[in-house]
Amino acid sequence: AQSVTQPDIHITVSEGASLELRCNYSYGATPYLFWYVQSPGQGLQLLLKYFSGDTLVQGIKGFEAEFKRSQSSFNLRKPSVHWSDAAEYFCAVAIDNFGNEKLTFGTGTRLTIIP
Amino acid sequence: GAGVSQSPSNKVTEKGKDVELRCDPISGHTALYWYRQSLGQGLEFLIYFQGNSAPDKSGLPSDRFSAERTGGSVSTLTIQRTQQEDSAVYLCASSSRVRAGGSKITDTQYFGPGTRLTVL
The arithmetic mean of pLDDT across residues A63-88, rounded, is 95
Task: Identify the three-state secondary structure at position A69.
Answer: helix
Chain B touched by A107 (CB under 8 Å): yes
Question: Which chain B residues contact residue A32 at CB under 8 A?
Answer: 106
Radius of gyration of the CA atoms of chain B, in A: 15
pLDDT (tens digit, 9 = 90+) per residue, A3-15?
Answer: 899 999 999 999 9
Chain A touched by B15 (CB under 8 Å): no
CA distances to B59, B71, B113 from B75, rounded to whole Å, are 16, 9, 15
Q: β-pairing, B115-119 with B10-13? A: parallel
> Distance between CA atoms of A105 and A46, rounded to whole angstroms?
13
The arithmetic mean of pLDDT across residues B28-52, rounded, is 89
Does residue B23 surpass a pLDDT of 90? yes
Does residue B103 surpass a pLDDT of 80? no
Residues belonging to chain B: 120
Residue A44 · residue A38 · CB < 8 Å: yes
Residue B33 · residue B94 · CB < 8 Å: yes
> Distance between CA atoms of B113 and A3, rounded to whole angstroms?
25
Q: In which band, very low, low, confident or very high, does the pLDDT at B79 lie, cut at 50, 70 and 90?
A: very high
CA distance A15 to chain B (A): 27
Mean pLDDT estimate for chain B: 89
Q: Look at the alpha carbons of B52, B53, B58, B63 in this order and tell me if their dihedral is positive or negative.
A: positive
> Distance between CA atoms of B39 and B106, rounded to whole angstroms?
30
CA distance B17 to chain A (A): 25
The arithmetic mean of pLDDT across residues A47-56, rounded, is 88
Q: Which of A48, A8, A9 is nearest to A32 (CA)?
A: A48
Does residue A99 surpass a pLDDT of 70? no
CA distance B75 to chain A (A): 17
**Inter-chain contact B56–A49, Cβ cutoff 8 Å?**
no
Q: In which band, very low, low, confident or very high, does the pLDDT at B102 lie, cut at 50, 70 and 90?
A: very low
Percent of chain A with pLDDT strictly greater than 90: 71
**Inter-chain contact B45–A46, Cβ cutoff 8 Å?**
no
The arithmetic mean of pLDDT across residues A57-82, rounded, is 95
Q: Which of A47-51, B18-22, B54-58 has the highest mean pLDDT?
A: B18-22
Chain A touched by B55 (CB under 8 Å): no
